[in-house]
Amino acid sequence: MIPDLSQLLILDSLLREGSLTRTAELLGMSQPTVSRALARLRTHFDDPLFVRTGQRMVATTRALALAGPIAAVLDAARELDSGPAVFDPLTAQRSFGLYMVDGAVVNILPQLLAGLARLEDGASGLQLRSVHIDPGAIEAQLERGHIDLAIGRFPQLVNNIRRRKLWTDEYACVMRAGHPCAGQLDRDAYLTHRHVLIEMEQTSQHNGAVTRKLETLLAPSRILCHVPSYTSAAHIALHTDAIATIPLRLARPLARDLGLVLARLPIDLPPVHLALYWHERSHRDPANVWLRAFVRSTLTASDPVSVDL
């Protein structure tokens, strides 16, 4: 039978102290208890382990060879008993995988990278990776640890998946500078002009519902095309007279970067609810705990969405 931890503690102390009496004192045991443990260790290892020389017990070659492995076992045991590990973003070396739809990559990832840069010394050991995966595999990838967080709206994630709301967004319109509706987009004008609609391949029930509603409001001739992402819709709007209807938090940076005109949406559409998603297996992982707090604090510190466009 493998020696238990108490026996290994005694052997470790004997190797350092060379004394039964001193070992018993340090470990709070009686000397007979230490002697009995040594006898069992000698039987297990089939070696005397120590021979007496004068007033000291001198370790045998076999005992000296055991010193390193025993110390490693005891160190591991102490680590198990020391409580949860601590994640220090300033010293850690870690690459975090994030899954986001294209709009979040454009709007959220730059904010997170800027947040890392603001940490002391730029937290040079930390990296953020935007990972492209099949949307149907998000749950499995979170479970396997291939990605650490998913950011977006994924109501299909239910099995052992935790979530935390980030924010609720509204929709807005973007169009090219000089568009006939720039500055005067009302309901009639919105329904009269042509549109580029978003038809994501991702399993987004919300996006599909919004697109279906717009298809019922707009005449077929008013739909210029369908595209698979918000950013591609904004680029189509830049080069045509089509209007793109996209979430406001994304519409703002796209309008700024592409020189588009931002306008209030003159019809009612359901709001967009964005959340963080992670697997139960990583819920208490110190690194994942830090990452979730970092994402939330960085994004909520950004300018809040205002209805004033």
pLDDT in tens, 112-164: 999 888 887 666 789 999 998 888 889 989 988 889 999 988 888 888 899 99
Q: For 229-242, what is the mean pLDDT?
A: 94
List strand residue ranges (DSSP E) for the chain, in order. 50-53, 56-59, 94-100, 126-130, 149-152, 161-169, 171-175, 195-198, 223-227, 243-247, 261-264, 272-279
Q: Give me the domains of the chain, ranges plus CATH numbers.
A: 5-80 (1.10.10.10), 94-166+279-300 (3.40.190.10), 171-270 (3.40.190.10)
End-to-end distance of the chain based on CA atoms, in angstroms?
75
pLDDT of 302 reads 58
Q: Kindly report which listed range (133-142, 229-238, 298-307) carries the lowest average pLDDT score.
A: 298-307
pTM: 0.67
Give 27-47 as a 3 state SS string: HCCCHHHHHHHHHHHHHHHCC
Average pLDDT, the chain: 86
Q: Other C-beta atoms within 10 Å of 55: how many?
A: 8
Tens of pLDDT, residues 42-67? 999 999 999 988 778 889 999 899 88
Q: What value, to the nearest 5°, has the Cα angle with vertex 129 and ends 126 and 133?
A: 150
